[in-house]
Amino acid sequence: MHKVSLKKIHDLKKRHIGITSITAYDASFAKFFDDLGFDIILIGDSLGEVIKGDKNTHNVSLKEMIYHAQSVSNVVNKSYVIADLPKESCSSHRKIISDSVKLFNTTRIDMIKIEFNTKNIGTIKRLNDKKIPICTHLGLRPQCVKRKSEFRIYGKSKKERSEIIRNAILAEQLGAKIILLECVSNNVVKELKKLLKIPIIGIGSGEMCDGQIIVSYDLLGISFNKFPKSINRDYMCNDILESNIKKYIKYVKKLPNEC
């Protein structure tokens, strides 16, 4: 199988074939998911939570993103690889551009994901002009979340609904090539599917999106988060992992007696 291109991802949308996406932070998992045939692998700044054990994504540095993006992108041969621009890089227009160029040029990633912000919207066009493809992230934006109450579904009120729709259209017009919608209501997704040409990848945003993304450790059932409510528990892997690892521990405990 050839490397997945942006064109292929856009084609999957046109052909109504779901775009499969998962996060990875290291070479071994990245290779495993690449071999399994995921269309997209994201080096998410969720690494702050699942790798570093932080409460949120806020303290992930550009240096850490580059380290993990190199580990992943060096071994992936087929999947399309996207990396998050961390919160620390988004303090100014200028820093978004210079840090994105650094992240893109020091790794083998194919695209950068930036959480949408009306103040920094012009950067999508600037990065596009520099031939750095951008995915924009709308709805629940973890880098902006300050309170637990902000972990909710976005777009239920008329005001929020039109704001998400307006921003998604604007992002597409400025050159965003993929939209990631996190925790966005089904009605908004339905509307956006009619209005946008670019693919919508969802997480907690219902089954109508063009593709789905999941945090790998959530799917494996080993993250600090609860298993996502929106995913059928049949896909959870931790029972198998747990029982085989327990079997291994038992085996090692008994070894000295047996040999």
Residue (34 or 84) nearer to ligand KIV, CB: 84
Output the smallest distance, CB 111 to ligand KIV, in A: 13
Catalytic-residue membership of 182: yes
- According to CB under 6 A, which one of 23, 73, 100, 123 is a site residue for ligand KIV? 23
- According to CB under 6 A, which one of 34, 64, 110, 182 is a site residue for ligand KIV? 182
Question: Which segment (43-51, 124-132, 192-200, 220-228) binds ligand KIV by CB under 6 A?
Answer: 43-51
DSSP string, the chain: -PPPPHHHHHHHHHTT-PEEEEE--SHHHHHHHHHHT-SEEEE-TTHHHHTT--SSSTT--HHHHHHHHHHHHTT-SSSEEEEEPPGGGGSSHHHHHHHHHHHHHTS--SEEEEE--GGGTHHHHHHHHTT--EEEEEES-TTT--SGGGSS-B--SHHHHHHHHHHHHHHHHHT--EEEEESB-HHHHHHHHHH-SS-EEEESS-TTSSEEEE-HHHHHT-SSSPPPTTS-GGG--HHHHHHHHHHHHHHHHHHHHH-
- The catalytically annotated residue of 115, 163, 182, 207 is 182
Question: Which segment (40-48, 124-132, 166-174, 217-225) binds ligand KIV by CB under 6 A?
Answer: 40-48
Q: Give the binding site for ligand KIV (CB under 6 A).
A: 23, 42, 44-46, 84, 182, 203, 213, 215
Which residues are known to be catalytic? 182
